Amino acid sequence: MAVTTKPQLMNNVEAVRAALHDALVRDDRVLIMGEDVGARGNVFLITKGFLDEFGPKRIIDTPLAEASIVGVAVGMAMEGLRPIAEIQFADFIYPAFNQIVGEAAKTRYRSNGDYTCPLVIRTPYGGGVRGALSHSVSIEALFYHVPGLKILAPSTPADIKGLLTAAIEDPDPVLFLEHKKTYRSVKGEVPDGYYTIPIGKADVKKIGSQLTVVSYGYNLHQALDAANRLQAEGLSVEVIDLRSIRPMDRTTILESLKKTRKLLIIHEDNKFGGIGAEISAMVVEEAFFDLDAPIRRLCGPDVPAMGYAHPLEEEFMISTDRMAQAMRELIAF
């Protein structure tokens, strides 16, 4: 990770944009394809201006057909290009499931390396933005079970730029998840110029001693807020940003637990079968006797989706208050 000296203040949209832009400039095998990524510059304006700068061969407005967005990208990747495929909203990734799970994730394996699939699939996910039933979903747990895939869900501009750059350079398919609610609300310093962050490493975003919290996405920022609140109450919470969902960084989690002996996992995605299940099961296998309290998961409720009506969205999203309360309870346990 080579960091230069002029950090810039960016929001998450700008960080995604910067990583994409730099990759397009650096490597002419890189191209972007998806619905409305051209003249419109993507529905969040992430690729605004790219069409003019890089031309329609490299910035491809695709037909409205997700299986082909990913499938054509798989073919490009097999042939040596470095496509970055965009799914406009995570909710619309289902038609591409076959190409991601059945094809991209298995290309290297089924040919024993005769062909590889260096492909990035970017998609905005998550709720709290009045996206209603079909523009709010979390999808990480539908994919994290799949060997051959990598899944990233960074939450800060610096992590996004470094990890997206790493994903584009990665020789295997990477699903890159961007939480919509952090797009413009989260800002941070981003090292200027080229750098990468290794895939598969969690990051301790706040050091603490009485409780380990593992989270990612929008929730990560709330968890940090809650932990800071507790700090004022004299309670010390360590907050780990998972960042990489597959591969998952066992070491950072287990190291932290040796110190805190208590674990709270927070994610917006539904609880049953979510990422928290694997973290909990892994910790129980590896560090059962390090635990002074049951592992707790604070997650989105087990319903198909958050609703459009405000009260329904609020009920689904985990409030910072609830996080703080769960932290207090677990520390007091």
Partner 1 sequence: MAKTITTSREFDRHDLSDDQLRAMLRNMLLQRQLDNRGFQLNRQGKIPFALGSEGHEAAQAGAAMAFQRGKDVLSPYYRDLGLVLGVGYTPLEMLESMFARTSDRSLGRQFPNHYTNRSIGVLSFSSIIAAHCTHAVGVAYAFVYRGETGRAVLCSTGEGATSEGEWHEAVNFASVHALPIVFFVENNEWAISTPQSQQMAIRNVADKAASYGIPGTVCNGFDPISTYAAVKAALDRARTGGGPSIVEAKVYRFLSHSTDDDDRTYRSREIIEERRKDDPVPRFERVLADAGIVDEATLRTMRAEVLRETNEATDTAEAAPLPNAETLYQNVYEGPYEPWL
Give the residue numbers annotated as catalytic, written as ranges.
135
CB of 303 to a copy of itself, least distance (A): 5
For residue 200, which of 162, 237, 227, 238 has the smallest C-alpha distance?
Answer: 162
Which residues contact residue 91 at a Cβ distance below 8 angstroms, ignoring those fewer than 6 apart?
Answer: 134, 135, 136, 137, 139
Out of 7, 193, 200, 273, name the contact with a copy of itself by CB under 8 A.
Answer: 273
Asked if residue 144 binds a copy of itself (CB under 8 A), the reply is yes
Q: Which amino acid is at 24?
A: L
DSSP-assigned letter for residue 80: T
Out of 14, 22, 35, 103, name the contact with ligand TPP by CB under 6 A.
Answer: 35
What per-residue string of b and e applies to 250-267 under the rule 16 or more CB within 10 Å gives b? bebbebbbeebbbbbbbb
Asked if residue 204 binds a copy of itself (CB under 8 A), the reply is no
Residue among 92 and 195 whose Cβ is closer to partner 1: 92
Interface with partner 1 by CB under 8 A: which range of 152-160, 211-219, 232-240, 313-321?
313-321
DSSP-assigned letter for residue 170: -
Cα separation, 56 vs 38, in Å, equals: 8
Pull the structure tokens for residue 272.
């049953």
Q: If contact means CB under 5 to 8 A according to the sort of partner, which of a copy of itself, partner 1, ligand TPP, none does residue 205 touch?
A: none
Residue among 72 and 142 whose Cβ is closer to a copy of itself: 142
Cα separation, 22 vs 25, in Å, equals: 5
Residue among 80 and 304 whose Cβ is closer to ligand TPP: 304
Closest residue to ligand TPP, judged by C-beta, is: 92
Asked if residue 131 binds a copy of itself (CB under 8 A), the reply is no
Please state the φ and ψ torsions of residue 308, each to the nearest 5 degrees: -80, -40
Binding interface with a copy of itself (CB under 8 A): 67, 91, 94-95, 97-98, 101-102, 105-106, 109-110, 133-134, 141-142, 144-148, 246, 248, 269-270, 272-278, 280-281, 284-285, 288-289, 291, 293-297, 302-305
